[in-house]
């Protein structure tokens, strides 16, 4: 039956004419048969035919009833509208192209930005009831994420207070090695037994580890990530209960994580292994290890209530903390989303709102185009209205045309969105959380459809509601004042929005420029960095590790064109570096510093040529010398800031220091190095000290950097270094990059924000210019006769130009004033994203205003000039 319906629908759509003819014939034959019948009954033929016609009733009515019965009636009128709409669009290809392109730019940018910020702001995290997951614990000046110390955590987890469930993991991930045939470097996370249940994650295969397996010295078990399972084990379910060698320890695989699994810290992980926290040892070691702690809130408890409920426990716990911590530590509970996106939330909202503003500009532009065309078509529409087209039908027709523009615009826009997204990924590979996951998926498509619909209504409704009065039939050129008012309002709105976008982009660009030109304290040009991460199983002892680094350094040193080659365990301006607290530095002849922690102090172990390689200035004293590497020498170099903090008045050179609050050697300050940014670009350089990289094997050092300053082509040098490294150890992954590139990554997000905002501002100004051009051109065309009369009466071209431009000038002023006000109000919200720029920087605002006014003037001047060339004779005979 459904099939019969469908075929009749198709038949009706495609055999419309034949059906209509057949129905006609059938009814005619019916009439004739009726007449025949009456003639046979003895009626005279003429009367019989008359009677037959009467009996048949209104022929048209019967036909209409039959048509109505047929399926697809509504569809057919839609089909008609679409058909007609397509014809109109084809007839006016220039208009169609501009409208579709404009709309595509708007829709495409919006979709692309949405697909990025959706992951950050809106989309659920891949955990059930993700809004109840929090990161909780302590915050200290030296640590930007919540943590707990082992000794207090093991007590707390017995009585998890206001939480439904809590769990912990060791901070970060650790490199671990699958030590089998073709062993590989993996990243492992150590998590508590409660980790998966708290996040609500079910293993895809197998099970979570048990409490017993999470005890110290229990036989080691592990869960594989989905990608490791498929890439290494071919997705074989038989992998369960298999024993593999992980860092040389026999480890039984007990489960596989689902493909959607991600760590709450967003770090990539291949294997989960039990944390195996030793309670007794944590108590003994008080305060114990640092743990990342997460929890699931009780239903109905929000973050503030939870903090209030935790406060008494916190106060009690703090009473037992070492005194220097007490002042600086505070309690913190944050939703998991907040922890993950950190400070990107504001930037994401900024991008989303600026792209929506841009979409609004695009929509008003299309609306303006449609209005202009509607004025041109007034007579046609009036004719159709006079011929009996209902108002509703006319509105529907007009909306169908806008809808068609919307559909084409959305299609072209999706393609544009795809290109933009690829551009985004190439601009900011690491700057934006989850950017690598951004796709044009079903959610984005639905969003795109939604905004297309809303935008189509926005720009389609204005012309649709302007059904002309019948006067238009008379053929007089009706001065459609409401149109003009609407169009000029649109222009003002475009100018206002463009100005806001321009000002915002200006602020962000200026801030980016400041950030990229920040004084680093070192020279990054011509510096190459090789990041070396040694596999524990191949280099199990510090001796072997140090031997490798020493060999690599001497090999690289022998390469041609080397100006300086150095080793370091970490590198500025950001990244993992070792740190201690100021209170742990003991100055000879002074009591220990006991007021708080004093903040964190970074330190690095470096070889003597480190300062030369990075061109870090030695302000006083000397740099390290080869003799400093001897076992009984203990020199130290301080950064300028640290030197000032420790020795505000005295000469630091020659002073004795002892570090880490352990009975180590007294160290002699031999030099003061200039400050180097070591905590990102935007913050002041923190205090820092350098120790010599000694070849005395005390602690494990499986991660280090070779720093090279060269006068040769960096590409060639990188290739040589790669060759030398693989000659030493062919299994080692080699990672070489330019120092400037490494620093550039730090501004990736700011560059992303600034570039996107500039893109939207630029496109917004361009569209506003197109809009103004269109409006002025239209005004000039409409007023050709009037202008002709004026010229005939002796007006000079300058007078005409003035009249036309004065008109647009008024609307520009209104738009600029609104825009300045809007920019002023919204800039305040940007302040926290800006680096060394005042949000209300008058020179930037002025620049944006001047730029916009120049563009507006040029866009208005080109068509206005036409007005001055009007030939009065032609104009007066016009039409």
Partner 1 sequence: LRQEQTNLLQGTLDMMILKSLALKEMHGLEISRRIGQITKGTFQVKPGSLFPALHRMEEQGWLVSYWGESENNRRAKYYKVTSAGRRQLEAETKRWDRIALAIIRTLEAS
Give the interface with partner 1 as residue ranges (CB under 8 A): 1, 4-5, 8, 22-23, 25-27, 29-30, 32-34, 36-37, 55-57, 61-62, 65-66, 68-71
Residue with tokens 């697909």: 115
Phi-psi region of 413 (alpha: psi -120 to 50; beta: other; left: phi over 0): alpha
Structure tokens at 587: 């100055």
Burial of 307 (0-12, 13-18, 19+ CB in 10 A): middle
Q: Nearest distance from residue 11's CB to partner 1, in Å?
A: 9
Tokens for 574? 């950001």
Name the residue nearer to partner 1 (CB basis): 64 or 164: 64
Give least dist CB 65 to partner 1, A. 5
- Interacting residues of 614 by C-beta distance below 8 A, sequence separation 6+: 522, 523, 524, 527, 566, 572, 676, 707, 709, 739
How far is the C-alpha of 688 from the C-alpha of 579, rounded, in Å? 8
Decide whether 62 or 458 has the Cβ nearer to partner 1. 62
Structure tokens at 232: 């290494």
Give how far the C-alpha of residue 678 lies from the chain's centroid of Cα atoms, to the nearest Å.
26
Pairing of strands 578-581, 600-606: antiparallel
What distance in Å separates the CA atoms of residue 462 and residue 483, rounded to the nearest whole number?
Answer: 9
Minimum separation from the CB atom of position 31 to partner 1 (A)? 9
CB of 16 to partner 1, least distance (A): 14
Question: Which tokens go with 385?
Answer: 């209205």
Task: Report the phi/psi class of residue 133: left, alpha or beta, with left for phi > 0 and alpha for psi in -120 to 50.
Answer: beta
CB of 77 to partner 1, least distance (A): 19
Q: Which is nearer to partner 1, 70 or 252 (CB)?
A: 70
Note whether 594 and 323 are within 8 A (CB): yes
Residue 38 or 783 having the CB closest to partner 1: 38
Q: How far is the CB of 68 from partner 1 (least distance, A)?
A: 8
DSSP β-ladder status, 600-606 and 635-639:
unpaired
Q: Give me the least distance between CB of 30 and partner 1, in Å please.
A: 5
Whether 101 and 173 have beta carbons less than 8 Å apart is answered as no
Burial degree of 237 (CB within 10 A; 0-12, 13-18, 19+): exposed
DSSP 501-517: HHHHHHHHHHHHHHHHT
Closest CB to partner 1 among 29 and 342? 29
| Residue 349 to residue 120: CA distance in whole angstroms | 10
Say how far apart CA 397 and CA 480 lie, in whole Å.
21
The nearer residue to partner 1, 6 or 588, going by C-beta atoms, is 6
SS (HEC) of 41-95:
CCCCHHHHHHHHHHHHCCHHHHHHHHHHHCCCHHHHHHHHHHHHHHHHHHHCHHH
Residues in CB range of 863: below 8 A, 6 or more apart: 773, 776, 777, 780
- When the beta carbons of 69 and 74 are compared against partner 1, the nearer one is 69
Q: Choose between 30 and 538: whose C-beta lies nearer to partner 1.
A: 30
Distance CA 867, CA 864 (A): 5
Which lies closer to partner 1 via its Cβ, residue 63 or residue 840? Answer: 63
Minimum distance, C-beta of residue 17 to partner 1, in the bound complex (Å): 16
Distance CA 12, CA 499 (A): 54
**Closest CB to partner 1 among 7 and 267?**
7
Shortest distance, position 43 Cβ to partner 1, whole Å: 15
Residue 46: CB minimum distance to partner 1, A = 18
C-alpha to C-alpha distance for 761 and 852, rounded to whole angstroms: 10
Give whichever of 73 and 828 is closer to partner 1, judged by the CB atom: 73
User: Nearest distance from residue 8's CB to partner 1, in Å?
Assistant: 4
Between residues 65 and 843, which has the closer beta carbon with respect to partner 1?
Answer: 65
**Closer of 11 and 722 to partner 1 (Cβ):** 11
**Bridge partner list, 605:** 691
Min CB(64)–partner 1 separation in Å: 10
Q: Where are the beta strands (DSSP E) in 715-830?
A: 735-738
Closest distance between partner 1 and the C-beta of residue 79, in Å? 19
Are 848 and 362 contacting, i.e. CB atoms less than 8 angstroms apart? Answer: no
- Rounded-to-integer distance, Cα 645 and Cα 582, Å: 9
In whole angstroms, how close is the CB of 71 to partner 1 at the nearest point?
7
Closer to partner 1 by Cβ: residue 65 or 131: 65
């Amino acid at each position: 039956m459904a099939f019969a319906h469908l075929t009749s629908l198709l038949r009706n759509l495609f055999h419309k004419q034949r059906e209509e003819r057949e129905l006609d014939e059938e009814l005619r034959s019916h009439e004739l048969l009726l007449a025949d019948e009456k003639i046979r009954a003895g009626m005279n033929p003429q009367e019989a035919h008359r009677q037959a016609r009467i009996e048949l009733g209104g022929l048209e009515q019967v036909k209409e009833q039959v048509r109505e019965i047929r399926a697809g009636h509504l569809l057919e009128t839609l089909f008609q509208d679409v058909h007609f709409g397509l014809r109109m669009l084809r007839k006016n290809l220039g208009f169609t192209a501009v409208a579709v392109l404009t709309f595509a730019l708007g829709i495409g940018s919006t979709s692309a930005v949405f697909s990025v910020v959706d992951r950050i702001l809106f989309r659920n995290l891949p955990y059930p009831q993700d809004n109840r997951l929090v990161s909780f614990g302590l915050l200290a000046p030296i640590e930007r994420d919540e943590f707990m110390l082992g000794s207090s955590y093991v007590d707390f987890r017995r009585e998890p207070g206001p939480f439904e469930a809590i769990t912990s993991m060791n901070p970060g991930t650790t490199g671990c090695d699958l030590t089998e045939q073709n062993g590989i470097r993996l990243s492992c996370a150590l998590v508590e037994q409660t980790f998966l249940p708290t996040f609500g994650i079910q293993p895809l295969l197998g099970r979570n580890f048990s409490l017993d397996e999470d005890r110290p010295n229990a036989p080691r078990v592990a869960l594989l990530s989905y990608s490791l399972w498929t890439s290494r084990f071919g997705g074989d379910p038989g992998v369960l209960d298999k024993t593999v060698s992980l860092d040389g320890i026999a480890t039984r695989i007990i489960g596989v994580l689902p493909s959607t699994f991600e760590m709450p810290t967003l770090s990539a992980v291949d294997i989960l292994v039990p944390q195996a926290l030793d309670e007794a040892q944590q108590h003994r070691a008080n305060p114990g290890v640092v743990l990342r702690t997460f929890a699931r809130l009780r239903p109905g408890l929000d973050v503030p209530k939870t903090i209030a409920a935790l406060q008494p426990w916190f106060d009690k716990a703090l009473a037992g903390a070492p005194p220097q911590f007490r002042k600086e530590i505070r309690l913190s509970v944050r939703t998991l989303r907040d922890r993950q996106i950190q400070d990107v939330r504001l930037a994401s909202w900024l991008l989303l709102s600026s792209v929506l503003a841009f979409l609004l500009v695009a929509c008003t532009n299309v609306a303006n185009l449609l209005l202009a065309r509607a004025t041109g078509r007034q007579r046609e529409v009036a004719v159709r209205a006079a011929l009996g087209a209902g108002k509703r039908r006319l509105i529907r027709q007009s909306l169908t045309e806008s809808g068609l523009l919307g559909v084409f615009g959305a299609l072209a826009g999706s393609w544009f969105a795809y290109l933009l997204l690829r551009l985004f990924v190439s601009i900011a590979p690491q700057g934006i959380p989850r950017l690598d996951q951004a796709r044009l998926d079903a959610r984005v498509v639905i969003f795109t459809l939604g905004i297309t619909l809303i935008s189509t209504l926005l720009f389609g409704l204005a012309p649709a509601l302007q059904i002309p009065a019948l006067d238009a039939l008379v053929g007089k050129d009706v001065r459609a004042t409401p149109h003009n008012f609407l169009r000029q309002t649109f222009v003002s709105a475009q100018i206002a929005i463009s100005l806001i976008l321009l000002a915002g982009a200006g602020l962000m660009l200026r801030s980016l420029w400041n950030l990229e030109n920040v004084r680093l304290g070192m020279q990054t040009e011509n510096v190459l960095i090789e990041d070396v991460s040694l596999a524990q199983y191949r280099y199990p002892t510090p001796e072997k590790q140090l031997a490798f680094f020493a060999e690599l350094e001497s090999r690289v040193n022998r390469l041609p064109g080397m100006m300086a080659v150095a080793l370091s365990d970490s590198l500025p301006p950001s990244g993992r570096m070792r740190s201690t607290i100021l209170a742990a530095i003991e100055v000879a002849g002074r009591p220990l510093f006991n007021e708080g922690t004093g903040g964190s102090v970074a330190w690095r172990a470096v070889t003597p040529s480190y300062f030369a390689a990075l061109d870090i200035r030695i302000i006083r004293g000397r740099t390290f010398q080869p003799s400093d590497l001897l076992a009984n020498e203990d020199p130290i170099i301080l950064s300028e800031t640290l030197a000032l903090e420790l020795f505000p008045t005295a000469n630091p050179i020659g002073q004795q220091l002892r570090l880490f609050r352990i009975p180590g050697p007294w160290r002699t300050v031999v030099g003061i190095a200039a400050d180097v940014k070591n905590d990102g670009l935007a913050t002041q350089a923190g205090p820092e000290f350098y120790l010599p990289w000694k070849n005395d094997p005390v602690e494990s050092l499986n991660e280090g950097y070779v720093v090279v300053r060269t006068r040769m082509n960096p590409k060639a040098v990188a290739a040589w270094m790669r060759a030398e490294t693989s000659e030493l150890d062919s299994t080692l992954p080699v990672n070489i990059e330019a120092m400037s590139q490494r620093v550039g990554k730090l501004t990736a997000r700011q560059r992303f924000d600034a570039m996107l905002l500039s893109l939207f501002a630029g496109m917004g100004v361009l569209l506003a210019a197109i809009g103004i051009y269109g409006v002025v051109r239209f005004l000039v065309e409409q007023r050709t006769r009037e202008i002709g009369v004026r010229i005939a009466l002796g007006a000079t071209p300058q007078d005409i130009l003035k009249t036309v431009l004065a008109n647009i000038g008024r609307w520009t002023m209104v738009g600029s004033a609104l825009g300045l006000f809007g920019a002023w109000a919204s800039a305040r919200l940007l302040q926290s994203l800006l680096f060394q720029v005042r949000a209300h920087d008058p020179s930037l605002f002025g620049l944006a205003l001047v730029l916009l006014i120049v563009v507006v003037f040029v866009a208005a001047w080109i068509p206005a000039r036409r007005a001055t060339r009007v030939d009065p004779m032609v104009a007066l005979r016009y039409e």
